[in-house]
Copies of this chain bind each other. A is one copy, B any other.
Amino acid sequence: MNDAFWGIDIGGTNVKLGLVSGEGEILARGSIPTQLPDGPDVLVDRISEVCRGQVEQAGIPLDQVRALGIGCPGPLDLKNGKLLRTANLTGYNFFPLRAKMSEKLQRPSVLDNDANMICWGEFWMGAGKDVSDMILYTLGTGIGGAIVCEGEIVHGHFGNGGELGHIIVHPDGRECGCGQKGCLEAYASATQIVRRFTEALATGRDSSLKKINATGRKITSKDVFTAGGQGDELAMEIIDGMCRALALASVSMRHATEPEMVILAGGVSKVGGVLTDRVKKFYDQTMWKLNDDPMEFAIAKLGDDAGIVGTAGAALHAWQKDQLYPVGQ
């Protein structure tokens, strides 16, 4: 019989749960609301119930489940398996998530931040399946990032490595929510695409999206991409600014950890190949020509399953390398 692993992907709104085989097959999947008011201990109970139910549902013996992986928005204290001060999960500050969860499920475990777990999912079973060195950007409300170097996630000295959204692409550029100026995130997150667009409208620039604005509905990043696809000049300008920022960060990362692939994940990446083509165009314009080693740009493949596949896969990887944290630790 095969080994299986629980994958627990905690988001601000929902917790996605999956039971995944050692070959990356999803044997069961589910989702429960994160339900902030109940507090983290109640959440751990509920997650545990669903996880055990998934084993029955999959019809495999419980002892075939070797370990669990947990993904969670950072910042995290990886060494002690705790959340730190959380922005989106009220009441979870300093909660010892890893110990509680593994105690409840009586399995050793591994915890990492959500972007690293999505990256691991894509690396193990998704767009990065055949590579050994890659970086990934999650393009959503903000921009998360992760680095795989020689088959391992780069955590950095204090556990906050891979924060690629805060690479500086335009010094003295736009203010980022993080307090820095000119971060990648200030040009390429969904939020900032919309903000840049509406700022430009406010200065009197014309666009086909003015009519949406007039109805009172808020313009979304998807609207901007649709308009850009239809030839809207302002929309294209904003999208190009985004793609160039991604290309600049990728050139710098290529010189640093030298990935062979850049993967775009998260909501904004759903526009697909037009996005990777555009980023690659700017990358090729910018990158030196001193060697012709290939660099690939790809859209993430696992979609909403990336979190559970990544967390379960991280548990498998830590199990194989004997790096799991024992029950309750």
**A residues neighboring B (CB under 8 Å):** 75, 131-133, 147, 149-150, 154-171, 178-181, 244, 248-249, 251-253, 255-260, 286-291, 293
Q: How far is the CB of A14 from chain B (nearest CB, A)?
A: 25
A257 engages B255 (CB within 8 Å): no
Q: Note all chain B residues with C-beta closer than 8 A to A260.
A: 157-158
Q: How far is the CA of A255 from the CA of B249 in the complex (A)?
A: 11
Q: How far is the CA of A164 from the CA of B252 in the complex (A)?
A: 8
A154 engages B149 (CB within 8 Å): yes
Q: How far is the CA of A289 from the CA of B176 in the complex (A)?
A: 12
Q: Note all chain B residues with C-beta closer than 8 A to A179.
A: 288-290
Chain B minimum-CB-distance residue to A149: B154
Q: How far is the CA of A181 from the CA of B160 in the complex (A)?
A: 29
**Interface residues of A, dominant DSSP:** loop
Q: How far is the CB of A176 from chain B (nearest CB, A)?
A: 8
A286 engages B157 (CB within 8 Å): no
Q: Note all chain B residues with C-beta closer than 8 A to A178.
A: 288, 290
Q: How far is the CB of A325 from chain B (nearest CB, A)?
A: 18
Chain B minimum-CB-distance residue to A158: B293
Q: How far is the CA of A113 from the CA of B136 in the complex (A)?
A: 27
A258 engages B180 (CB within 8 Å): no
Q: How far is the CA of A159 from the CA of B290 in the complex (A)?
A: 14
B293 engages A154 (CB within 8 Å): no
Can you give 17 A-B contacts (C-beta < 8 A)?
A147-B256, A149-B154, A154-B258, A157-B260, A158-B258, A158-B260, A158-B293, A162-B255, A166-B288, A167-B255, A168-B251, A168-B286, A179-B290, A180-B251, A180-B286, A180-B288, A256-B256
